[in-house]
Amino acid sequence: MRAGPLLLLLVAACATPGDPMSYRLAETGSHWSDGEGAEVLAEGRERYPEFFDVLLDPSVVREFDMLPLRDDLERSPVDRRNFDALHAVAIAYFELNYRAESDRGGGLYLGNSMLAAQLVAVPWRAYSEVQDPRLRGAILDFFEDAGTGEKIGSAGTAPRLARVVGSLAKKEPDPARHARIEALAARLQPGFD
């Protein structure tokens, strides 16, 4: 059974917050709003209210203005705004992916799937634009979180991320991150055990 929104907010208020200059949704379990996710959402709603107003209305599928997210994610020097933008993208991706997978064959499937794919392009592009190792690591953390299949609705779509993640290897001169990218892309391939 899932906790109600009030309980999630109380838990988030009592929890020790994670490092705001890192990816904070990996340990939220099967839904992005669990654990620290409620706090991350509250922070995101404060920074991107119009974006989250559109996202959190499940009755409407319409395009977002992703330019503020892209601009913040690609800022240099890197600061808290980069990570807030990454979390907004992650929450939106997980939510839209879940809605699409829950509506396979339905009227909202294609629209939600396309919006989720557009969201993936934002951190993919930022990986080329910003060389900061903390941000690059956080972007890889997001792709790993999205590809594990742990979040509701992500198991079926994780293999689609393999090529996206694999293409980052050409952009990565650091040997450790390059190896991480290759290992993650391989793990996301269908049939990998």
CA 162 to the chain's CA centroid: 15
- Looking at the structure of the chain, the number of domains it has is 1
Task: Find where tokens 């599928």 sit.
Answer: 61
Instruction: Classify residue 193: in a domain, yes or no.
Output: no
- On whether residue 36 sits in a domain, the answer given is yes
d(CA 179, CA 102): 34
Task: Count Cβ atoms within 10 A of the Cβ of residue 111 and give its class: 0-12 exposed, 13-18 middle, 19 or more buried.
Answer: middle
Q: Output the pLDDT for position 11.
A: 35
Task: Find the domain containing 169 and state its range.
Answer: 5-14+25-188
The answer to whether position 79 is within a domain reads yes
pLDDT value of position 181: 97
pLDDT confidence of residue 191: 58
* Distance, CA of 20 to CA of 4 (rounded, Å): 25
Mean pLDDT by 10 residues, the chain (193 residues): 35 52 83 73 92 83 87 96 96 90 81 90 96 97 89 80 94 96 90 53
Kindly tell me the sign of the dihedral angle through the C-alpha atoms of 58, 61, 147, 24: negative
Residue 146 placed within a domain? yes
With respect to residue 20, please indicate whether it lies within any of the assigned structural domains: no
pLDDT for res 34: 63
pLDDT of 133:
96
- 19 occurs within a structural domain: no
pLDDT at residue 5, as a whole number: 38
At residue 157, the pLDDT reads 79
Per the domain annotation, does 141 fall within a domain? yes
> What is the rounded CA–CA span in Å between residue 102 and residue 90?
18
In a domain, 37, yes or no: yes
Question: 157: which DSSP letter?
Answer: T
